[in-house]
Amino acid sequence: MKSRLKILLREALDTLHRDGVVPRVPGTIPVERTRDPAHGDFATNLALALAKAAGRKPRELAEALAAALPAAPEVARVEVAGPGFLNFFLAPAAFQAVVREVLEAGRRYGRSELGGGRRVQVEFVSANPTGPLHVGHGRGAAYGAAVADLLSAVGYEVHREYYVNDAGRQMDILATSVWLRYLELCGEEVAFPENGYQGDYVWDIAAALHRENGEAMRKPWDEVARNLPPDAPAGDKEAHIDALIHRARTLLRDDQYRLVFDVALNYILDDIREDLEQFGVIYDEWFSERALVDSGAVLKAIERLQKSGHTYEKDGAIWFRSSDFGDEKDRVLVRENGQTTYFASDIAYHMNKLERGFERIIDVWGADHHGYVPRVKAALEALGDDPGRLDVLLVQFAVLYRGGQKVQMSTRSGEFVTLRQLRKEVGTDAARFFYVMRRCEQHLDFDLDLARKQSNDNPVYYVQYAHARVCSVFRQLEEKGLAHHRDRGLAALDRLTESHETELLRELSRFPEVVESAALQHEPHQLAQYLRELATAFHTYYNAHTFIVDDDALRDARLALIDATRQVLANGLELLGVSAPERM
RNA sequence: GCGCCCGUAGCUCAGCUGGAUAGAGCGUUGGCCUCCGGAGCCAAAGGUCAGAGGUUCGAAUCCUCUCGGGCGCGCCA
C-alpha cells in the first residue's frame, strides 16, 4: 500500500521535473503512516524536503505535487496540511482488500522478493565449545535466528553459520580438565587446577572417556604434577594451566591427547547442537577453525598482509599495522613462540566468507567483543576488500530477574544458568520472544516470573492467545452447525466498516512493511512490538463485537477478517521462532 | 585515561533514521461476564525526553561539552 503511493508520487515528481518545477527527483521517496487519523492514513514530507532546492515555499510545492498526482481508485483524497505535508486519505476498500490479500497469500503474506536472492551470511552464537550454552548465548541465538529468518522472508538467500573455535587454548584447557577428571575416576588423587573447567559436564565427558577407554590413558598423578609451577593463590594460575596442558600432551603423546580433545569437543558440540535445535535454531553450516588452520588459509592470509606491506616484526612477533586503518593500535598475528593468534584465524575466516561469494556478511557478537570490530574491518580493508560488506551486530547482555532479584551468575564456578535451564523454566516460546523484545543495543531485563505467567501481563501469551481465540471462534462456529463461506465473506468485505474493524484492517496492512523494516534494520523487536499491537486490535474487536451473527454476509466477512488476523499472527510468530497454538 | 553502547511516565521499554499535540505494557485508581475462551476489554491519573549549548522552517532523534550506568582496552579466545 505504501509502495503504491510511492509509485504515484514518483510519477507526480517526474511530471514536475519535466515542467522544471523541481531540479531533481530524489532516489527514495519518504511515505509514512500517520499517527493522527486527522492527518489521513499516509503522509509524505516531500515538499518540505524539496522546497529549498526548488526555491519555493513548501506549501506551494505541496499543492503542485497534489495537482500532478495521477488519479487512483484507492486514494479517496489528498490534502496539503501543516507546514507542507501531503496527507493521503485512502478509500475504505483499499484496506478491506487486505483481507483477500492475506487469505490468498496465506503463509507467504508479508514475504517479498526485495532481496532479489542476494546471498547473505549470518554467523551467530559461535560460543567456544568448552561448555553448555548459557543465557547470554541464548540472546544471540534468538536474535541471530530472527534476523536470518527475517532476511530470508524478504528475499535474501541466507546462510546460517556457527564458527567453531576448536583450535584455541581454551579447548586445550578443556581437554586437560577432562583428562584430569578422568584420572580422578581412575582413582588418582588430583589437585584440580584453579583455571580448569569446573562444571559437572566435565565429569560426564570424563566418564564417557573412562567407559570407552578403560585405564589406557591413566598416568600417575606424581608424574603429571612433577615440577609444575605453582597454582593460584600462591602462584600464577595461567602459567600453571599452560604447563599442565604441556604435560598432558607430552605424557599422552599426540594420538591419545587428540582422542581426549576430540571426545570433549564432540560431546560438547553435540550438546550445543541439540540445545539450539530444541530452541528452534538450525544452522546450514558448522565451520571449524581447526579445518581452516589445517587448510593453510591462516598462513595464506598472513602472507597476503605481508605482501601488501601492512605488517612488521617487533619483539620476535609479526604485527599487523591495523592502526593505519582506524584501529587504536597494531595487533599481533604471529606470536614470539611462532603460534598464530586467534585474530589471524579470524582474518582468514572473514576472507574465506567473502571468497565464498556472500554479498553481505553479518556477525552477531556479544557486546563485550565490540573492541574487536575495528581490527577485523581494518584487516578486510588492508586486504583490499570492502569492510562495508561486513555488519557486526553487537548484542548486549541479558540479566535475569527472579522474584524481583537479579539472578547471579558466575561462569567460573560452573553455577551459571544454562540456556537449557532457561528453556525448561519458561519454555522455548517465551524465551525466544523475550530475547527479541528489545533492541539488541539495549540491556535486556529478563523477568523469569513474567515469562512464566499465563496472563495478559505476559506478551507472549497475549499474542498467542489472540491466535488461539480465533481458532476457538471457528470451533464454536462448527459446534453451532455453521460453516464459513469464505467467498461470501470476501464478496462482502465492504460490510467491515466498524471502527474496530477499520483499525484491525489497518494493522493487517502494516505487516509487510514491518517485516521489511525489521529485516533491513536487523531489528526483530519491531516485529515483536507489532504482534502485540495486532493482538490488542483483535482482542479489542473481540470484546466490542460478536462475529457469529445471523446476517450471513456480515458473519462471513467478519470471519474472513479474523481468519486473516490469525494468519498474520501465525506468520509473525513463526518469524520469531514462536509457536502459534490453536488452543492453550 | 581512551573507545563503544545506553539514559524517554513510579517500573520495563517503543518512537518508523529530522516532522504535526512524545506513545505502549506493567503498576496505581475506577468500571465491564444471561453473549464467540475474563489467559480478555474500557476509562483516568502519570513527562523539564539526564543537563547545557549548537545546527534549521522543525530536534527525543544530528554535532559539541558535562553528569550518570554498562562494556571493552592481551603475543587469551
- Whether any strand B atom is under 7 angstroms from the Cβ of A418: the reply reads no
- Whether any strand B atom is under 7 angstroms from the Cβ of A10: the reply reads no
Least confidently predicted of A58-67, A330-339, A504-513, A523-532? A58-67
- Whether any strand B atom is under 7 angstroms from the Cβ of A232: the reply reads no
Q: Of residues 432 to 471 in chain A, which lie within 7 A of strand B by their beta carbon?
A: 437-439, 441-445, 454-457, 459, 461-462, 465, 468-469
CA distance A578 to A428: 8
- Whether any strand B atom is under 7 angstroms from the Cβ of A499: the reply reads no
- Whether any strand B atom is under 7 angstroms from the Cβ of A494: the reply reads no
A419-426 and A135-153 are packed helices; what angle lies between their axes, rounded to 10 degrees?
Answer: 80
Once rounded to an integer, what is the mean pLDDT over residues A248-262? 95
Q: Which residue has the cell 599487523?
A: A320
- Whether any strand B atom is under 7 angstroms from the Cβ of A83: the reply reads yes
Q: What number of other Cβ atoms are within 10 A of residue A378's Cβ?
A: 23
CA distance A52 to A40: 25
- Please state whether A227 falls in left (phi above 0), alpha (psi between -120 and 50) or beta: left
Q: Which residue has the cell 463461506?
A: A485
CA distance A25 to A50: 9
**Per-chain mean pLDDT for chain A:** 93
> φ and ψ at A194, to 5 degrees?
-55, -40
Question: What is the pLDDT confidence band of residue A415, given thresholds at 50, 70 and 90?
Answer: low
The answer, yes or no, to whether the previous bond of A233 is cis (omega within 30 of 0) is yes
A316 touches A334 (CB < 8 A): no
CA of A36 to C1' of B43 (A): 20
A34 touches A45 (CB < 8 A): no
Task: Please report, in angstroms and rounded to a whole number, the separation of the first and last CA atoms in chain A.
Answer: 34
Q: List strands edge to edge, sheet with A444-447.
A: A405-406, A398-402, A444-447
pLDDT tens per residue, range A288-335: 999 999 999 999 999 999 999 999 999 999 999 999 998 989 999 999
CA distance A104 to A20: 43
CA of A68 to C1' of B62 (A): 33
- Whether any strand B atom is under 7 angstroms from the Cβ of A243: the reply reads no
- Whether any strand B atom is under 7 angstroms from the Cβ of A343: the reply reads yes
Nucleotide nearest residue A474, measured CA to C1': B36
Question: What is the pLDDT confidence band of residue A38, given thresholds at 50, 70 and 90?
Answer: confident
- Is the alpha carbon torsion for A353, A354, A360, A365 positive or negative? positive
Question: A512: exposed, middle or buried (C-beta count within 10 Å: 0-12, 13-18, 19+)?
Answer: buried
Helix (H) / strand (E) containing A119: strand A119-123
CA of A21 to C1' of B28 (A): 57
Q: A50-88: buried (b, 16+ CB within 10 Å) or exposed (e) per residue?
A: bbeebebebbebbbbbbebbeebebbeebbbbeebbbbb
- 3-state SS of A477-520 is HHHCCCCCCHHHHHHCHHHCCCHHHHHHHHHHHHHHHHHHHHHH
pLDDT computed for residue A402 by the predictor: 87
pLDDT tens per residue, range A106-163: 999 999 999 999 999 999 999 999 999 999 999 999 999 999 999 999 999 999 999 9
Range from A24-38, A225-239, A402-416 that averages highest in pLDDT: A225-239
Record the cell numbers describing residue A152, joined without a space.
530470508
pLDDT computed for residue A133 by the predictor: 93
Q: Reduce the DSSP state of residue A463 to 3 states and report it.
A: helix
Question: What is the pLDDT confidence band of residue A236, given thresholds at 50, 70 and 90?
Answer: confident
Residue type, A184: E
pLDDT computed for residue A237 by the predictor: 87
Q: Reduce the DSSP state of residue A572 to 3 states and report it.
A: helix
pLDDT tens per residue, range A483-494: 999 999 999 999
CA of A39 to C1' of B14 (A): 21
What is the number of alpha carbons within 13 Å of residue A75 lying toward its C-beta?
21
The larger pLDDT score, comparing residue A57 to residue A577, is at A577
Nucleotide nearest residue A473, measured CA to C1': B36
Least confidently predicted of A197-211, A255-269, A402-416? A402-416
Helix (H) / strand (E) containing A435: helix A428-435
CA distance A112 to A513: 10
What is the pairing mode between strands A75-81 and A317-320?
A: unpaired
All residues at 6 or more sequence positions from A545 whose CB lies less than 8 Å from its CB, including other chains: A498, A500, A501, A558
- Whether any strand B atom is under 7 angstroms from the Cβ of A293: the reply reads no
Closest among A15, A33, A17 to A25, alpha carbons compared: A17
> φ and ψ at A90, to 5 degrees?
-90, 155
Nucleotide nearest residue A372, measured CA to C1': B72
A579 touches A429 (CB < 8 A): yes
Q: Of residues 314 to 333 in chain A, which lie within 7 A of strand B by their beta carbon?
A: 314-317, 328-329, 331-332
Question: Looking at the predicted structure, is the pLDDT value of residue A454 above 90?
Answer: no
Least confidently predicted of A50-64, A351-365, A457-471? A50-64
Helix (H) / strand (E) containing A88: strand A85-90
CA distance A458 to A540: 17
CA of A452 to C1' of B33 (A): 26
Question: Looking at the predicted structure, is the pLDDT value of residue A239 above 70?
Answer: yes
CA of A328 to C1' of B73 (A): 9
Nucleotides of B under 7 A from a protein CB: 2-6, 12-17, 19-21, 23-27, 35-42, 57-58, 70-77
Question: Looking at the predicted structure, is the pLDDT value of residue A456 above 90?
Answer: no
